[in-house]
Chain A
């Protein structure tokens, strides 16, 4: 078991006042809160901060933690001395807030059991519903998955490994892994959630099971950009295709199509293929953005064509600059 230095995690000294601890926690919480932060490690950091605060904000728990002694280093192998918490009266159970299943084994070892060894049910603290008997809906679980744009066009199935906290007969929380196969609904957009009913924690006392919410993000695509339900493609065209018009082959996530480029097209012109974006109930559009590619002047013949254009076309690209 690794020793956790809760003071270090919050970045405060061991002599910090309760007020300083609260301030440090709030500041870090704002930085790493998973609903606010885009830090890559936010989820883990926030749990760690929450756990440290859980102990240090409570003078009783803090005193108990302090008396483990000042010589422990973070990460050091840790066994609590026998009766380490003798003489401390914890009000309430071990857990008071946050997600008990997320707490480290270290926390679990110190505070995970009530005096007398009775386990405080991890679902028991956060119940805000109007249940009068001891019956509660299981907790929801959240996870993030990455899919490809094509999966959203066609629908797909994915295997997902879930870590589920389970309570052992000794009253500890352990994680168990299980695999489920999930259908990715056709037409899902980045940032949306797939709700899998009843795939979260089992309910308590006959309550219904919680849900599993999968937040969907898309892998970056080599060709396409996604904006909401719309999909964009940069399409290289030759100057004469843009100028004179042409019909060219264009890839889309649903397959190749023929696209008519109107004559007189220009760099950056957007052409819309209605309804060929992400296919949901209100399907998105597919936009082709023209990118004019210049043929290289690397042969005498090519140079000759450019020279001829220079001679015969009265064209000043810098007209707008007044020069």
Chain B
């Protein structure tokens, strides 16, 4: 039976990581955290604000993911902020290495006897 399926309306989204000019308030709302917490993350070097006017923080969208990870790591693992910073740095490194490994393995030709 050929029933024409009614199409749902299309939901438009944006690429979070490429969103620029996320304000401190946006970041707090999107991550359910206090501004103080974000400032602590900046101080610890976990978040790097974009260059901007003095006193007006703007963040790249990938800071949202980073802030959430920081919150989750603190909540679930009981690490402090320097611990979060270290964990995130190591996770970044592992991710880079995994990528390289995957690429190398992809290109590995079978070895002849």
Interface, chain A (partner B; CB < 8 A):
26, 29-30, 33-36, 38, 46, 50, 97, 126-130, 137, 140, 157, 159, 179-183, 185, 187-188, 192-197, 199, 211-214, 225, 227, 234, 280-281
Contact = CB atoms under 8 A, between A and B. Distances in A.
Contacts of A26: 77-78
A2 B64 CA distance: 37
A159 B61 CA distance: 25
A182 B11 contact: yes
B13 A183 contact: yes
B29 A137 contact: yes
Contacts of B19: 195
A129 B37 CA distance: 11
B89 to A, nearest CB: 13
Interface of B: 7-19, 28-30, 32-34, 37, 61, 65, 69, 72-73, 75-78, 87, 91, 98-99, 103, 106-107
B16 A50 contact: no
A185 B61 CA distance: 15
A130 B35 CA distance: 9
A182 B10 CA distance: 5
B16 A35 contact: no
B13 A35 contact: no
A138 to B, nearest CB: 10
B77 A185 contact: no
A179 B8 CA distance: 8
Contacts of A196: 11-13
A194 B29 contact: no
A29 B8 contact: no
Given A195-B14, A225-B103, 20 more contacts: A26-B78, A29-B76, A33-B72, A36-B73, A129-B33, A137-B29, A159-B8, A181-B11, A182-B10, A183-B10, A185-B14, A192-B16, A192-B17, A193-B16, A193-B65, A194-B13, A195-B13, A195-B19, A196-B13, A281-B18
Q: Is the interface of B mostly helix, strand, loop or mixed?
A: helix
A319 B50 CA distance: 53
Contacts of A159: 8
Contacts of A137: 29, 32
A33 B33 CA distance: 20
Contact of A33 (B14, B28, B77, B98): B77
A113 to B, nearest CB: 24
B28 A181 contact: no
Contacts of A126: 32
A192 B15 contact: yes
A30 B77 contact: yes
27 contacts: A26-B78, A29-B77, A30-B77, A33-B72, A33-B77, A36-B73, A97-B75, A128-B32, A128-B33, A129-B32, A129-B33, A140-B30, A179-B8, A181-B10, A183-B10, A183-B13, A185-B14, A185-B15, A194-B13, A194-B14, A195-B19, A196-B11, A196-B13, A212-B13, A225-B103, A225-B106, A280-B18
Contacts of B87: 36
A38 B99 CA distance: 13
A199 B7 CA distance: 18
A227 B9 contact: no
A26 B78 CA distance: 8
A35 to B, nearest CB: 5
A46 B77 CA distance: 12
Nearest to B8: A181
